[in-house]
Structure formats: C-alpha cells, structure tokens
C-alpha cells in the first residue's frame, strides 16, 4: 500500500472520529439543557444514562484515535492495522448514527409533549 494513500486513510478515520465527538458534544449539551427543564424522575434517569453512554463512547473514540495517531506517527504502512482501525471506526460510526437517531426521536417526542 502506498504510504501517501495510507496516510490519507488514517486522516479520514481521524476526521470521522472527530465528527462523532463533535456530534456527541452537541447531544450532551442538549441533554444537559433537557435535564435542566424536566421534572419527571424517569426522564432524568434516561438523560443521565445517555450521558453515561456518551462518556463510554468517548473513551472508545479516544483509544481508537490514539491507535490511529500512533500508526500515523510511526510512518509504517501496515494494511492489516489500517483494516482493523477502519472496521472499528465503521462500527462506531454506524452504531453512533443509530444511537443518535434514537436520541433525537426521544428528545423530539418529549419536546412535543411539553409544547
């Protein structure tokens, strides 16, 4: 695998991870606002559970990002490691999209009930 292509692939993976982190930060702010405005204990527990999931996902993102950055810094083009990282990022991205959709639906349904 050409080194330039390998470096581009690693940069792409890092951009995907950065995007997920930014989206999670946005959701976390929405959840914080949501917790501040709700009173039902069940909904507060749900929002706190979602924030814990964000923290868990953030740890996973940081670990994968660290692996990618170390691979990039090493200057070694290792297709098997790149494949593993791509699979992990793809899994996290797909799982995140489904999770985000479920969160958005829940927040929208609560917003419509409060209106």
The residues near 62 (Cβ < 8 Å, ≥ 6 apart) are none
In which band, very low, low, confident or very high, does the pLDDT at 97 lie, cut at 50, 70 and 90?
very high
The confidence score (pLDDT) of residue 115 equals: 56
The number of distinct structural domains making up the chain is 1
pLDDT category, 41, cuts 50, 70, 90? low
Residue 48 has pLDDT above 90, yes or no: no
pTM, two decimal places: 0.71
pLDDT tens-place string over residues 10-38: 999 999 999 999 999 998 888 887 777 76
Question: Nearest Cα to 71, choosing from 2, 5, 6?
Answer: 6
Domain with 98 in it: 3-114
């Amino acid at each position: 695998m050409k080194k330039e292509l390998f470096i581009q692939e690693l940069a792409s993976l890092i951009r995907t991870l950065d995007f997920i982190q930014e989206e999670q930060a946005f959701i976390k702010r929405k959840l914080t606002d949501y917790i501040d405005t709700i009173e039902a204990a069940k909904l507060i527990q749900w929002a706190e559970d979602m924030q814990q999931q964000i923290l868990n996902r953030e740890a996973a993102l940081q670990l994968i990002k660290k692996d990618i950055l170390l691979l990039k810094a090493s200057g070694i083009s290792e297709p098997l490691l790149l494949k593993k990282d791509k699979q992990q990022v793809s899994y996290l991205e797909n799982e995140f999209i489904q999770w985000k959709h479920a969160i958005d639906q829940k927040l929208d349904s609560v917003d419509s009930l409060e209106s």
